[in-house]
């Protein structure tokens, strides 16, 4: 895993973590080692373009996702849910 942005939601320790994918990164809400939901996908080209302007696109998206989760909520599976109940292939909060 790459960068991580931790936060607490409903007493649960979560983080938004980057996962490397073809030509970019996906940002996932993760609890422990389980991926809960994908919140965004960022291309290398887009990240580099923003970095040239002095922006950290991944951090910006992670903070926006955390803010939305904390203000609007997120349906989290139970701690003992089966792994396939945890993963979502393409859910976007932003």
pLDDT score for 81: 44
Would you list the DSSP string of 16-29?
A: EEEEEETTEEEEEE
pLDDT tens per residue across span 23-44:
999 999 999 998 988 889 999 9
pLDDT at 78: 52
Note whether residue 35 is domain-resident.
Answer: yes
* 90 found inside a domain: no
pLDDT in tens, 50-89: 999 999 999 999 999 999 888 888 766 555 444 444 343 3
Confirm whether 53 is domain-assigned: yes
Q: Looking at residue 82, what is its pLDDT? A: 43
- Domain extent for 43: 4-72
Q: Does residue 82 belong to any structural domain of this protein?
A: no
Q: Please indicate, yes or no, if residue 83 is contained in any of the structural domains.
A: no
Residue 85 within a domain: no
Strand, helix or coil for residue 60 = helix
Establish if 19 belongs to a structural domain. yes
Residue 50 lies in a domain: yes
**Domains: count for the chain:** 1
Number of helices followed by number of strands (H, E) in the chain: 3, 4
Q: Is the pLDDT of residue 10 over 50?
A: yes
């Amino acid at each position: 895993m790459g960068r991580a942005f931790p936060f607490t939601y409903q007493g649960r320790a979560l983080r938004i973590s980057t996962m490397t994918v073809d030509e970019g990164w996906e940002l996932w809400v993760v609890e422990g080692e389980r991926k809960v939901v994908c919140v965004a996908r960022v291309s290398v080209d887009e990240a580099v373009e923003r970095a040239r302007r002095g922006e950290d696109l991944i951090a910006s998206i992670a903070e926006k996702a955390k803010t939305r989760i904390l203000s609007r909520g997120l349906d989290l599976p139970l701690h003992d849910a089966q792994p396939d109940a945890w993963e979502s292939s393409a859910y976007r909060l932003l």
